[in-house]
Structures are given as structure tokens and as C-alpha cells.
Homo-oligomer: A and B are copies of this chain.
Amino acid sequence: MPHIIIKGASEEHVKEISKTLVKPMSEIIKCPEDHITIEYLPTVFYQNGVAGQGAYPFVNIQWFKRDEMACKQIAELFNTFFIQKKYAENAVIFTDLIPTYYFENGQHF
């Protein structure tokens, strides 16, 4: 954890994120880099019958609750990346996981 799930961006860009954004994220939230997982979710957006149309990067960050500053800094990290890649817009949402509902190897937190 955190688990970073990305859709609506190209798989190539997700690959690049796994190389360049993990270190700054780990510094913002003060966790080891290898605790962060990055996923490309191959969902297909449709708009008016056309595949791929209406898509934009959408990042879901699932973790145990962190403060507003951490959210803001991470959202800005992704925003800067997606602007560089010429996406017209992007969304980053945060989902707080519940420790007692999160079992790692059979034991909850």
C-alpha cells in the first residue's frame, strides 16, 4: 500500500509512472518505494458508440487515510505528469481503506 489504480491513460504512460512517480510519492507519504503498487486497468471508455472517446486519466489511490496535504501533493504530481503528456484533463481520487477490513496474509491490520 498505497495501491495506485490508473485507467483512461495509455498503458505506456502507466509504465512510465511506475518508473518516475513512485520515488516522489514515497517521499511525500514517507513509505518504502516497494510498498506502492501501480496498476493499469484496461477499461474501455465509450462515448456515443465510439471506443476510447471521452476517456481521460483517472487515478484511484487506495490507502489507509493520510492528511489533506499528502492528497494535494500527490494529486499535483499526477496533474503535472498528465499535463506534460498533453491530456486535456485528469482526475485523482482517494479511497480510505479500513484497517480491520484489510487482511494481509490472513491477518487484518
**A residues at B contact (CB < 8 Å):** 3, 5, 7, 11, 14-19, 22, 34, 37-51, 54-55, 58, 68, 71-72, 75-76, 79-80, 89-95, 97, 100-108
Contacts and interface: CB of A to CB of B under 8 A. Distances in A.
A38 B43 contact: no
A41 B94 CA distance: 20
Nearest 8 Cβ contacts at the A-B interface: A79-B106, A75-B103, A18-B46, A94-B101, A92-B103, A19-B49, A40-B44, A39-B43
Contacts of A40: 43-44, 46
A14 B51 CA distance: 10
A95 B79 CA distance: 24
